[in-house]
Amino acid sequence: MKFFRPIFAAALSLVPVLADDKPKLPEGPGKATTEKVCGSCHGVGIFVNRRESREGWNGIIEDMIHRGMKGEDEEFGEVSDYLTQFLSKSTPGGKVNVNQGSAKAMVSALGIPEADATAIVKYRVANGKFNSLEDVLKVPGINAAALEKQKEKIDY
């Protein structure tokens, strides 16, 4: 037992560090329901940086119902209200990782045209990871000015 105790203590001390790195939803009514309903298949990290209108969120909710999401209609309504209010297009902090994000996620976080987002995805498949804005600006046909304006929202 003596041997195990220090290891156990070390593992415990890591827990708060890991918890801090977890993506968190903004505080507000409906947060707990959203975590419960949306967090059972994937983490909330998949959508915490997404910004959508009511229509956009409702489309995603429908999509997730098709994928097997369970809940009461009342809960879906609460989730729709929460997402529309707290992760709206005007909520700051929407970020996207250009090495991992889908074209759709880039369109919604950066407000760039779908053609540009698709070109970014194609380019990274062919050429590997982006490390900086300069790398992203090498994508043929990309609107450099639009991307530069959004550079704070780009993660690598």
Q: Which stretch binds ligand HEC (CB under 6 A): 8-16, 17-25, 97-105, 148-156?
A: 97-105
We find the least distance from the C-beta atom of residue 73 to ligand HEC, in angstroms, to be 13
Pattern 48-67, binding to ligand HEC, x per CB under 6 A? --x---------xx--x--x
Helix (H) / strand (E) element for 126: namely helix 114-127
Q: Which is nearer to ligand HEC, 48 or 137 (CB)?
A: 48
Query: Taking CB under 6 A as the rule, does residue 107 contact ligand HEC?
Result: no
Planar angle of CA 90, 87, 91, nearest 5 degrees: 25
Q: How far apart are CA 155 and CA 95, in angstroms?
A: 7
The CB-based long-range contact list for 16-21 (8 Å cut-off, 24+ gap) reads: none
CB atoms within 10 A of CB 103: 17
CA dist 72 → 33, 78, 134 (Å): 11, 10, 47
Pattern 28-47, binding to ligand HEC, x per CB under 6 A? ---------xx-xxx---xx
Catalog residues that contact ligand HEC under the rule CB under 6 A: 37-38, 40-42, 46-47, 50, 60-61, 64, 67-69, 79, 102, 104-105
